[in-house]
Copies of this chain bind each other. A is one copy, B any other.
């Protein structure tokens, strides 16, 4: 199996597995317990916190461990909006945010907040000027660091600067960026940042919400005084320890790995252009994550293509959400103005640490066969309704 779906989840690194195994076996206690066993678990937790802080350029005490990107986005957006409620009951999110940010905004709307959406251009980028012209009762703006579907990198520092001038706080979902490109919380100038372990070689089920010193915040989960009072609940010690190891490795390797992935992407895109002159790479001219290619192969519906590649041992994601046989165009591509008939033919190829040149060539070869097969399926009406 050739795994080209690293943006969905990337394999857990062996060093992470090993450390998590040791932790599961040797740290039975609750890190909130005051006895020595508890304090040993606490020490492991705080070591991991330091590694995560280093990876994103934050202070350790700004790091709040959460259960993943989805909780981080919810706790961040809702925690900021509630804390700033007296200033206004309106938040803004970019149109291409992850489902989790849309979900958090949905809950805020349910609670009576107004939600603005920042449009993106055809290149998939948010215009930073949009953050300067929001209604005056807006308190938080959410713009992701890199889009999970297209890989397009957003002008977060510019958005945050404009937002600050307008008196707004910025939340940045850096889930897809961290580990692939350098992330600098301090330099970005955002108030809140979210990262997830399983996108960078750590385990699923753990992430971090970074809250800047002094940034207004109300916890979503209350309990005892866990995580500086920002998140109740017994800490996921083995998961956090694994996250720490993955973050330490990622911080050390991100510059070189980023270059390596960029070369692989160039090789992949050259193959796509050579064999499919009609293919469209979405966000091609924007700055993008070095590992992500989102491309439409006209006439080859993404669900057919995904199945056909899977049968040839290649794992990718559809750029379109497929449910009950109906193919809906991705809201991200729709927001970029990609026409429906092209959007339903989009696939996301995402490479990672295990990807080799040989695999890139194999995927191109499999694509040549699969696009042919998918186009035939589409013509014969095989498969689900479009």
Instruction: Give CA–CA (A142, B168) in the complex, Å.
Output: 38
* In the complex, A33 has a CB within 8 A of chain B: yes
Interface size class of A (residues with CB under 8 A): 35 or more
Q: Given A35-B316, A37-B3, A221-B74, is A234 in contact with B68 using a C-beta cutoff of 8 Å?
A: yes
Instruction: Give CA–CA (A11, B14) in the complex, Å.
Output: 23
Which of chain B's residues have a CB closer than 8 A to the CB of A71?
67, 71, 221, 233
The 8 Å CB contact of A238, one of B8, B205, B317, is B205
CB-CB nearest in chain B for A111: B111
Instruction: Give CA–CA (A5, B104) in the complex, Å.
Output: 37
Instruction: Give CA–CA (A107, B111) in the complex, Å.
Output: 12
User: Among A21-29, A47-55, A158-166, A333-341, which stretch is in contact with chain B?
Assistant: A21-29
* In the complex, A258 has a CB within 8 A of chain B: no
* In the complex, A281 has a CB within 8 A of chain B: no
Which of chain B's residues have a CB closer than 8 A to the CB of A206?
205, 236
Which of chain B's residues have a CB closer than 8 A to the CB of A70?
221, 223, 232-234
Which of chain B's residues have a CB closer than 8 A to the CB of A3?
28-29, 37
Contacts A103-B219, A103-B223 supplied; 11 other A-B pairs, CB < 8 Å:
A5-B29, A8-B32, A34-B310, A35-B316, A38-B315, A67-B71, A70-B221, A74-B221, A99-B232, A220-B220, A225-B323
User: How distant is A109 from chain B, measured CB to nearest CB, in Å?
Assistant: 11
The 8 Å CB contact of A12, one of B25, B30, B69, B100, is B25
* In the complex, A20 has a CB within 8 A of chain B: yes
* In the complex, A17 has a CB within 8 A of chain B: yes
> A232 and B103: CB pair below 8 A?
yes
Task: Report A316-331 CB contacts with B as 1/0, cut-off 8 Å.
Answer: 1110011100000000
User: How distant is A151 from chain B, measured CB to nearest CB, in Å?
Assistant: 17
Which of chain B's residues have a CB closer than 8 A to the CB of A310?
34-36
Which of chain B's residues have a CB closer than 8 A to the CB of A68?
67, 233-234, 236
* In the complex, A133 has a CB within 8 A of chain B: no
CB-CB nearest in chain B for A303: B34
Which of chain B's residues have a CB closer than 8 A to the CB of A10?
28
Instruction: Give CA–CA (A28, B198) in the complex, Å.
Output: 9
Instruction: Give CA–CA (A3, B36) in the complex, Å.
Output: 10
Instruction: Give CA–CA (A316, B29) in the complex, Å.
Output: 11
29 residue pairs A–B, Cβ–Cβ below 8 Å: A1-B36, A1-B37, A3-B37, A5-B30, A5-B38, A9-B28, A16-B24, A20-B21, A24-B203, A29-B315, A33-B315, A34-B317, A35-B316, A36-B315, A67-B236, A70-B233, A70-B234, A71-B71, A103-B221, A106-B222, A107-B222, A196-B234, A198-B234, A204-B236, A204-B237, A205-B235, A206-B236, A236-B239, A239-B239
Which of chain B's residues have a CB closer than 8 A to the CB of A236?
67-68, 203-206, 239
Which of chain B's residues have a CB closer than 8 A to the CB of A219?
103
* In the complex, A359 has a CB within 8 A of chain B: no
> A102 and B222: CB pair below 8 A?
yes
Instruction: Give CA–CA (A338, B25) in the complex, Å.
Output: 38
CB-CB nearest in chain B for A7: B30
User: How distant is A385 from chain B, measured CB to nearest CB, in Å?
Assistant: 17
CB-CB nearest in chain B for A307: B34
Instruction: Give CA–CA (A33, B4) in the complex, Å.
Output: 11
* In the complex, A224 has a CB within 8 A of chain B: yes
* In the complex, A379 has a CB within 8 A of chain B: no
* In the complex, A110 has a CB within 8 A of chain B: yes
